[in-house]
Structure 1
Amino acid sequence: MPKVQAYKRIEAVCRVDDSDFYILNKWGNEMKKGSGLGGCIISNNILENKGSIKWCFREEPVNELDNGWRFLSDVDTDEFLSDSRNLSICDYQKVIDLEPAVFAIYELPIGTDLTIIKEGGNTFFVTETGELILPVN
């Protein structure tokens, strides 16, 4: 998995409106955060359908809106990930919409580091040591 630290430079611009809050995405468009699952950092290759989610890891959240999850794609390179403009903040529900299997890992603890494997119509999560932890379907 490519290692990345660029996401730590990303900050969300938020405004609170009653019980909802909104995040400005990289294009300055307002996105309502409505799932209650928190925000995460995701490769733009995933959001732009250039790659699929391949690596999922959970770190200490950087603020109260962050759930700590990070998602990288199968086409990301170290060079691509070294530019923080290639990463976005999005609601965890959006990630579930793109890859429903990640619903199953939401409550795993900080320090979790997984690779998604798709074989024969099934989706599996595997640890760095190759241990199968969750057959999803």
Structure 2
Amino acid sequence: MKEEEFIDLIPPMGFCCATDKITVDGMNVGYMYREEPEDKMDSGWRFFSGTENQEYVDDPNNTMFYHVNTIANYDKAIIPYLNLPFGTSLERVKDTDKFEIIVE
């Protein structure tokens, strides 16, 4: 997406981490989790397509920090889940815009 295409879909909530599979390749979010923030600007959210292997994730060139609103513009299906608490992990239900909480 081009910067001028982004719209405000959610109130500001800080930054998140997302892989290039979402922001460059245009894949939907398939897996997301929220961890304790690293600082007060961090929302704690981490977004993945679900196709990344460990080698891909370990390469810092494949992930970047974004405003959460940016990722919401790429995949609006994440929006209903963004206020879930730290420690929450979710996986997309195949072929839907719904996510299920992963219970470990």
**TM-score, normalised with respect to structure 1:** 0.63
Aligned length, in residue pairs: 95
- Greater Rg by CA: 1
Runs of 5+ consecutive residues of structure 1 not aligned to the other structure: 1-33, 130-137
Query: What is the rounded CA distance, in whole Å, between the counterparts of 1:102 and 1:109 in structure 2?
Result: 14
**TM-score, normalised with respect to structure 2:** 0.81
Query: What is the rounded CA distance, in whole Å, between the counterparts of 2:82 and 2:98 in structure 1?
Result: 15
Whether the 8 Å CA contact 2:33–2:88 is kept in 1: the answer is: yes
- By percentage of residues, which structure has more strand? 1
Runs of 5+ consecutive residues of structure 2 not aligned to the other structure: 1-7
Query: What is the rounded CA distance, in whole Å, between the counterparts of 1:48 and 1:58 in structure 2?
Result: 22
Query: What is the rounded CA distance, in whole Å, between the counterparts of 1:36 and 1:51 in structure 2?
Result: 23
Report deviation, 1:51: 3.0
- Identity between Structure 1 and Structure 2 (%): 26
The residue correspondences of 1:105-120 to structure 2 (distance < 5 A) are: 105-119=81-95
Match of 2:28 in 1: 52
Whether the 8 Å CA contact 1:58–1:110 is kept in 2: the answer is: yes
Match of 1:124 in 2: 98
- By percentage of residues, which structure has more helix? 2
Report runs of 4+ in structure 1 exceeding 3 Å deviation: none
RMSD (Å), alpha carbons: 1.9
Query: What is the rounded CA distance, in whole Å, between the counterparts of 2:29 and 2:91 in structure 1?
Result: 9
2:19 to 15, 18, 43: 43
Look up the SS of the partner of 2:37 in the other structure.
Answer: coil
Relative contact order, higher structure (CA 8 A, sep 6+): 2
